[in-house]
Structure 1
Amino acid sequence: MPELILYPVICLLAGLVSYLVCQFSRKWRVLDMPDGQRKFQAAPVPRLGGAGILAGFFSVILLAGVLHAVNPLWLGNDFLPGNVRAVAVALAASLGFAAIGAADDISDLNAVLKLVLLLAICIGAPLFGVVVPQLDSPFGNLTAPALMIAGSALWLLVFTNAANFMDGSNGLAIGVLAFMFSGLGASLLLSEAGCFPSGLIAIITACAGFLIINMRGQLYAGDIGAFGVSALFATLAIISGLSVWTIATLALPILIDTLMTLVLRAKRGESLFTAHRDHAYQALIKSGWSAWEVAILWWGLAAACATGATIGAAGGGALPFVVFVCLGLLLGFGWVRVQRSCGQMGTRLVRI
């Protein structure tokens, strides 16, 4: 099957399966309830939309397996970044994160048990091959295996939880992740890898299938989506062979808001584990922005970071680090301006 036919099939299959499963998941009656604290919705909303995204993506993985068995030349070696073993571990780890998220969505998993399970996957995945090969810096490259395993585990834990924290407004977390997957593919295309893995197209279109419903306020991704999809990005990015600074640049729209919000709460002496509305996106919603406006702003930030990451990957050398620092400072400055501005504008609550 020529690639010109294969790629549209991948897009159609992933998007269609995602959309259909998302529609079906609205009937499962697993609801996200208003809590008067972190959540903004005025009524209960079904929250297992992440199952649709993962179903769309893994349906393409199944199709890829069948096509590879029939004719290995149809897909080549660039369906997903990384070697076969690392990809298999990455996919398994993503399913593990999704399973933990689903359990939390359905039955409110015990917080300690949830953390233990997440740590087990975060540590286990690097031990089985999902590990960054080196940390490049202007002062030399770090390659100590123990350090790389520890760093990869920390990245998985921090990023997946950060994405989960950002999943509080329609289109925000999953929309940003879709742009991050696009940036990952573009960075690979213009780097030494020289290809945009077709498997990344599948997860992007699967996210689109979900967003069609989500942006109407009819379905949330839930922890199954926030954990599962973010883990998919975090693991595939690690094994892509790209610079850690390129990966970090792609993640800036999520990381900056999450980390700076935690710093703000720590400075105030507030608990880091209780529900709150201190994120920049929450401040904008409280000040009167709609979910669409917030989503479009963050999509723009994600697109800008994806563009910067791609430029850094294409240039190589110290450029990925320079791009990361510059964009990180700009986003950090923007976060401070948003918080100060919204603090002066009031806290009108809007329905999303």
Structure 2
Amino acid sequence: MGDSPERAVTLVFLAAGAAAASWALVGAVRRLALRRGVLDVPNERSSHTTPTPRGGGLALVLCAAAAWALALAAGAPPRSVFGLGLPALAVAALGGADDVRPLGAGLRLAVQVAAAAAAVWALGAWTAVTLPGLGAVPLGAAGGLVAGLWVVGLTNVYNFMDGIDGIAGLQAVVAGAAWAAVGALGGGLVAGWTGAAMGGAALGFLVHNWAPARVFMGDVGSAFLGFTFAALALVGSDPRLPLAALAFVWPFVFDGGFTLVRRLLRGENVFAAHRSHLYQRLVVTGAGHRAVAALYGALGAVSAAAGLAWLGGAVWLLIGVGAGVPIVLFAALRATAPPQPPVPGASHSPQLEPAGPPGGAV
């Protein structure tokens, strides 16, 4: 592909082509879903109010598959392309089947674990991970297990986070652009072309999915995106790459991880459907879909920039952004939370006691 400027130009054209193709494909998928009755019908946990076609994420899958074929033709290592692409396509097929007819959680998890194991086997387990202040930490025999858990975990987190208009698509634009930058800076054909294709395709999808959404991504898209963005961290031997991959999707990972731990501590059934993610609570307290999606997209862009800087040696920027994202999300939730009702029997004079901060506790 030549030197860095030529690589960058190639990736820009690839992203633009994917965006145009995705825009057309999503429209076709939407019409097909309407004819076949593949609709997301609202229930008490939904963030939408009208039946909406789903499965638009199929366009992202097709664009990524086309990019992998082109990468092979351009000389990408077949083991890397097939080791990433085939398991990701299996996860997409599972998600597509679940969109049409819901499947059991056990079956979905089993396929995801098998796909993650195949990707780790083909692409290689992590032998070490570089952490701020600690350097490269050897993982030894645990490297494969850690990598597999990362892939399965992000696959599900991305699916959980696809709950309001625009949020998953915008995160995909950001993460895709970050991986394209990795490729443009010498990270290889597979990372660059996959990132450019998925980022561009997500942009074309967003034209249909920005609030109010005319089509939803569905599991075919959300599970595929989560799996692929996770497995890309296995393509390459740089021990800094796993933390960079985490930074590229950090707002999603933090929200998903925090919500899981919070529910566990409360004794809730973590496998039951709910509306307690931070982004869902922001919508419930009055922030609109567009505002919340834009907030997560902006935080994702800052985190992705910190991840790229980390690959260049900027340690403190990564640490600062890693801590800053939770602070901003909690501050946003506090700012949008309704005032707490007065405690019965506790009357205080406003002249004697200053007003407390608005909102309730996170």
TM-score, scaled to structure 2: 0.82
User: Equivalents in 1 of 2:116, 2:21: separation in Å?
Assistant: 29
Residue in 2 that maps onto 1:30: 38
SS in 1 for 2:338: helix
SS in 2 for 1:141: strand
Alignment of 1:313-332 (within 5 A): 313-315=311-313, 319-320=314-315, 322-332=316-326
User: Equivalents in 2 of 1:342, 1:284: separation in Å?
Assistant: 7
User: Equivalents in 2 of 1:284, 1:43: separation in Å?
Assistant: 20
1:201 correspondence with 2:199: no
Alignment of 1:67-146 (within 5 A): 68=73, 75=74, 83-137=77-131, 138-146=133-141
SS in 2 for 1:93: helix
Deviation of 1:185 (Å): 2.8
Are the aligned partners of 1:16 and 1:56 in contact in 2 as well (CA < 8 Å)?
no
Deviates more, 1:121-130 or 1:296-305: 121-130
Query: Which of structures 1 and 2 has the larger relative contact order (alpha carbons within 8 angstroms, sep 6+)?
Result: 1
SS in 2 for 1:170: coil
Deviation of 1:155 (Å): 0.3
1:228 correspondence with 2:224: yes
Residue in 2 that maps onto 1:171: 166
Question: Cα distance 1:60–1:189, how it changes in 2: closer, same or farther (>3 A)?
Answer: closer
Deviates more, 1:332-341 or 1:107-116: 332-341
User: Equivalents in 2 of 1:342, 1:259: separation in Å?
Assistant: 22
SS in 1 for 2:130: coil
Residue in 2 that maps onto 1:268: 266
Letter in 1 for 2:177: S
Question: Cα distance 1:206–1:330, how it changes in 2: closer, same or farther (>3 A)?
Answer: same
Question: Cα distance 1:62–1:247, how it changes in 2: closer, same or farther (>3 A)?
Answer: closer
Unpaired runs of 5+ residues, structure 2, are 341-362
SS in 2 for 1:18: helix
Question: Cα distance 1:12–1:300, how it changes in 2: closer, same or farther (>3 A)?
Answer: closer
TM-score, scaled to structure 1: 0.84
Residue in 2 that maps onto 1:13: 17
Alignment of 1:153-192 (within 5 A): 153-190=148-185
Residue in 2 that maps onto 1:71: none
Q: CA RMSD in A?
A: 2.6
Deviation of 1:194 (Å): 8.6
Deviations 1:142-177 (A, max 9, x none): 444521110110000111111111000111012112
Deviation of 1:21 (Å): 1.8
User: Equivalents in 2 of 1:323, 1:91: separation in Å?
Assistant: 32
Unpaired runs of 5+ residues, structure 1, are 69-74, 78-82, 347-352
Are the aligned partners of 1:285 and 1:294 in contact in 2 as well (CA < 8 Å)?
yes
Deviation of 1:253 (Å): 0.9
Deviation of 1:101 (Å): 0.9
User: Equivalents in 1 of 2:90, 2:124: separation in Å?
Assistant: 14
Letter in 2 for 1:271: N
Deviations 1:285-328 (A, max 9, x none): 1122221111111110011001111111112xxx44x4443322
Are the aligned partners of 2:20 and 2:204 in contact in 1 as well (CA < 8 Å)?
yes
Residue in 2 that maps onto 1:248: 246
Percentage identity across aligned positions?
27
User: Equivalents in 1 of 2:226, 2:124: separation in Å?
Assistant: 15
Count of aligned pairs: 327
User: Equivalents in 1 of 2:188, 2:85: separation in Å?
Assistant: 23
